[in-house]
Copies of this chain bind each other. A is one copy, B any other.
Amino acid sequence: MTIFDESYDPRFEREALINFCRDVFVHYGLERDDATLSGRVLVAADARGIPSHGVARLARYVAGLETGAIVADAVPEVMHETPISIALDARGAMGVPVSELAMKSVLDKARTGGAGFATVRDSNHFGIAAWYAMQALEHDMIGIAMTNTAALGVPTDGTRCMFGTNPIAFAAPADKEHAFVLDMATTAVPRGKIEVYARRGKPLPEGWAADARGRHASDAPSLLDSMNRYAGGGLHPLGGAGTMFGGHKGYGLAVMVDILCGALAGHAFGQHVRDNAEAAGRVGHFFAAFRIDMFRPAAEFRRDMDQLLNDLRNCPPAEDRERVYYAGLKEIEAEEAAARDGVIIEEAVAAKLNDIGTRVGVALPPAIGAK
């Protein structure tokens, strides 16, 4: 086992990190199983190389539990149900367990009925969308998961935040190849990218964000300030400013997610989803799955998926690139590395976890190789 020197970000055993999160969540009143699952989803993001959605968010979950934005003992309510659908009201519950419940119901319904759908209203951050979509894979189903989020994006030719980063996850199984797992925000970049540029004092590239007058926002700190005051400006949708590079398409996809997770779920949508003291950042979700053998034998589909994905992986790369990936491949390779070497947690994040642990009396596990 490698002994890391101080310049390395620490690595942790995956299960130890999950147990740490579990114990923190239990301290805040979550049922033990829900707490474990919530930890599992956070740590999965880190293991898959998506630290923006990993344990770095524990502080925000804890803040939510402390203010009551996340209701630790909420009991979700079934608003409407059919043989292939369920509409849930999370009543402010922790996002992960109620989403797991919804996706399990979707899969059960799809097993007997061919397809399953679920909406969840009045929920909270559910971690990585791929977590839910991927649950369809082992059942030879195609899985879909979406959520709306606090408004951060401006419409094409607009100047005010009217939709969130509204991710779409889509998972389809293969046979020998790794599954195709798409998990993408529908804005060009996440807010976190703007924050990184603000910290580094770098001008923003054209196509990421608009200022309050709808022009290219190059100054990250003033953009963030304006966004925080709801004074205008925000992230461009996927495709950037205007229509020249397809910004109207990303805008359309973001609104599509809002229609399914907001209007269809009976939750707030658009500019009305805000993450602040008054609004608590409650969000809505949409889940779906359907059986591949409604169309053709699953084994045939998986064989074709192998060819499709293998073709993509073997596409000759650009002269300055080594490889061509397909959606989900980088993440599964990161997960394999994490299983071998431990889950990398940025040093600053590990320090914050330690602070949370100290406050609630839960010890952060030692980093792998730490003395």
By a beta-carbon cutoff of 8 Å, the part of chain A in contact with chain B is 79-80, 82-85, 87, 113-115, 117, 119, 142, 154-160, 162, 170, 172, 180, 182, 184-186, 188-189, 205, 207-208, 210, 213-215, 232, 238-240, 244-246, 248-253, 255-256, 258-260, 262-266, 269-271, 290, 292, 294-296, 300-301, 304-305, 308, 311-312, 315-321, 323-327
Contact = CB atoms under 8 A, between A and B. Distances in A.
A266 B158 CA distance: 42
A178 to B, nearest CB: 13
Q: Top 8 nearest A-B pairs by Cβ distance?
A: A214-B318, A182-B252, A85-B294, A158-B315, A157-B321, A184-B249, A252-B327, A263-B304
A213 B319 CA distance: 6
Contacts of A327: 248, 251-252, 255
B238 A249 contact: yes
A1 to B, nearest CB: 33
Contacts of A294: 80, 82, 84-85, 87, 117
A188 B255 contact: no
Contacts of A114: 82-85
A316 B158 CA distance: 6
Contact of A311 (B117, B271, B301, B308): B271
A232 B315 CA distance: 10
A242 B214 CA distance: 25
A79 B62 CA distance: 53
Given A157-B324, A246-B238, A256 B170 contact: yes
A285 to B, nearest CB: 12
Given A80-B296, A245-B188, A255 B318 contact: no
Contacts of A245: 188-189, 205, 207-208, 238-240, 245
A234 to B, nearest CB: 10
A95 B316 CA distance: 33
A298 to B, nearest CB: 10
Contact of A213 (B259, B318, B324): B318
Contacts of A154: 315
A115 to B, nearest CB: 5
Contacts of A325: 155-157, 248
Given A115-B115, A185-B249, 4 more contacts: A80-B296, A85-B290, A87-B295, A248-B325
16 contacts: A79-B296, A84-B84, A84-B115, A85-B290, A157-B318, A157-B321, A157-B324, A159-B316, A162-B315, A172-B259, A255-B327, A263-B301, A263-B308, A264-B292, A264-B296, A270-B308
A296 B253 CA distance: 22
A318 B210 contact: yes
Nearest to A323: B157
B312 A255 contact: yes
Contacts of A244: 205
